[in-house]
Amino acid sequence: MSHNDDAARDRDKAPTFTVDLCEAARLSGLSGKTLLRRSREGQATGLIKNGRRVLFLRHGLETWLERQAQTHTTLPQPSFN
């Protein structure tokens, strides 16, 4: 196995700290446009812009999604009076 093969294998095992807009949209279940709007409004976190390139910190996006799930999955209990 060559040095290049080792480097490629290590790169595949390395954790991904950022995801692009398409992957962030896939992970969140939102459109890229909605995700960008929510980021601008301060609702979604982890946005990084480098020129035209838009990335999200994976940890920030996952944390925001977990908070969203906790906030929006609690349903009010019906009252039977």
Note the pLDDT tens digit of each residue in 16-60.
Answer: 799 999 999 999 999 999 999 999 898 888 899 888 899 999 999
What is the greatest pairwise CA distance in the chain? 74
Is the residue at 8 inside a domain? no
Is the residue at 11 inside a domain? no
Residue 22 has a pLDDT of 94
Domain with 61 in it: 20-68
pLDDT band at 12 (very low <50, low <70, confident <90, very high): low
Instruction: Count structural domains, the chain.
Output: 1
Specify the higher pLDDT residue, 12 or 41: 41
Is the residue at 77 inside a domain? no
Is the residue at 29 inside a domain? yes
> pTM for this structure?
0.66
Residue 34 and residue 14: Cα distance in Å, rounded?
29
Residue 30 and residue 8: Cα distance in Å, rounded?
31
Is the residue at 33 inside a domain? yes
